[in-house]
Structure 1
């Protein structure tokens, strides 16, 4: 690499400092602001020391561009009022176990949209400068991004997954996501988002169990007893749905059952029930919303065997149940 003229060094140092904080990517406007000329930028690109990213930014190396670099490049390509939105904003904010196909950027209605095949830059009526995180790459706040990601998801399953991940991983609280969901006035997925948020808030558990019972009866299945108190070897349990004659228990799992602090307790309770001769089916609430026929079909299959007439015979199949 040829030595740079001495008077260029301060500008290059400033440009590299900016690039370090932006995944190696700097906007052309930033480069010109630190003192580099268009001719100098063009020369670095032609020498293949740098590489163009769209027509608004430059990467100050010639290796593969990082995800962080693409986040900044997408925003620069979108213009001065652009910010990452939806799932892209969540990923930029730290969401794990999720990948986006194209970086999504929102700009306000009427803004110029510079097309780039790598980035999904769209005008949206939901654009609001007050939704932007004040530090780092411009992006929607996690709660806002989660709701929009759910509205824009390809499927209901993906929508529910994104909302759940956001709360599980601590990017936003269920209350914050719920507040954002209330801002949605019109959308085909508005009801689903509100249902999932309701579940995340754990505020509709009793109502949901009642709805499950009604659906079971509608499908011609016997109604279970609800909220049955049971004492086991490891304490007092409350069974969500119970068919005593069939020795069948259905546990309706809300979002809290996926949290680490509940996993061990749930396993102990289920094992205690199985060791006393009960059959236990676990039904996630989100599963009932997204694949109801699958889970109701499993309950129907379990009930199809008919009532258990001799419970003592059932217990003899589990000798550990007699201990203690």
Structure 2
């Protein structure tokens, strides 16, 4: 390799490093590297083209950062922004797997499909939704709300709203505020409800109207806030039937700090006095209502039968 070609390669490689080893043709031109010099590098297989506008200055696979820059350049620089689950992964979301890069564009944009990229058209994307930095990427809270709207199921939607808060990428209050800024077309009620659960915790009985669920599933209305003596004084059970069935509905706060320990002590104390305790998390009741209420009905039927037999 002669000195000039080597110099071009080194210049481009250095410039591509902040982008994960890829660079756009526009940036190459700004460096004084014209299309003939790019074509030579490609022909000699030192570089690889990944679409119309993206050049890798190596021949290996693209990493996550490079794939995200490629998505933005190929869909349209100045048009596309990394969004949804990919934006959350860029912010550091762990234990989430997705093989494609999600980007958003305004609904008026004209785009060409790009392999490995899912393009979502949105009604608005103000600059205030973007995180600081050169890569156009939506902040974690609005990205979580977008991801929930784009999810394949209610369960996945709830999960992608909860995980960023659990992992410290954003606060529950920020997610709740994002539901007012990001208006998707799907599962609006579910997303608003889960955002409230995550932001505020749930005093579940009032907000989820458990009595209404009991009527729907043909259960007698239970007593609420029943007082019992527990290991640390009086405790209040969410709901209880005379047959000895207790249902405790846990809001988001029941997963934080020592709340789990306190809940376990309380449940054990109630069970030692002969009651059967079922626990339902408020988020689960939103996305798996039939399964949880089926368990409540089964437990009530069994305990009522035992009481009559006794």
Same fold (TM over 0.5): yes
Residue range with higher mean Cα deviation, 52-61 or 104-113: 104-113
Q: 1:56 aligns with which of 53, 60, 72?
A: 53
Match of 1:267 in 2: 264
Residues 238-317 of structure 1 mapped to structure 2, 5 A cutoff: 238-243=236-241, 245-259=242-256, 261-307=258-304
SS in structure 1 at match of 2:302: coil
Alpha-carbon shift at residue 25 of structure 1 (Å): 1.7
Alpha-carbon shift at residue 62 of structure 1 (Å): 1.2
Aligned counterparts of 2:276 and 2:103: Cα–Cα separation in 1: 49
Q: 1:180 aligns with which of 173, 178, 181?
A: 178
Match of 2:189 in 1: 191
Contact 2:9 2:57 in 1 (8 A): no
Q: 1:162 aligns with which of 160, 163, 168?
A: 160
Aligned counterparts of 1:138 and 1:75: Cα–Cα separation in 2: 8
Specify every segment of 5 or more residues in structure 2 that has no aligned partner in the other structure, as ranges: none
SS in structure 2 at match of 1:283: strand
Cα distance per residue 1:30-86 (max 9 Å; x no partner): 222223222222222222222211111112211121122111110111222221011
Aligned counterparts of 1:262 and 1:33: Cα–Cα separation in 2: 57
Cα distance per residue 1:208-251 (max 9 Å; x no partner): 466112221332212222223333235543322222x3322211
If the length of structure 2 is used for normalisation, what is the TM-score?
Answer: 0.88
Aligned counterparts of 1:181 and 1:209: Cα–Cα separation in 2: 18
Aligned counterparts of 2:287 and 2:208: Cα–Cα separation in 1: 18
Residues 46-125 of structure 1 mapped to structure 2, 5 A cutoff: 46-81=43-78, 82-125=80-123
Match of 1:28 in 2: 25
Q: Provide the aligned length of Structure 1 versus Structure 2.
A: 307
Contact 1:105 1:121 in 2 (8 A): yes
Q: Is residue 227 of structure 2 the alignment partner of residue 220 of structure 1?
A: no
Match of 1:171 in 2: 169
Cα distance per residue 1:154-185 (max 9 Å; x no partner): 22221111111122222221211111212355
Q: Is residue 178 of structure 2 the alignment partner of residue 144 of structure 1?
A: no
Contact 1:113 1:123 in 2 (8 A): no
Contact 1:168 1:259 in 2 (8 A): no
Q: 1:269 to 1:16 in 2, by over 3 A?
A: farther
Aligned counterparts of 2:184 and 2:84: Cα–Cα separation in 1: 17
SS in structure 2 at match of 1:96: coil
Contact 1:242 1:248 in 2 (8 A): yes
Specify every segment of 5 or more residues in structure 1 that has no aligned partner in the other structure, as ranges: 314-324
RMSD: 2.6
Residue range with higher mean Cα deviation, 234-243 or 40-49: 234-243
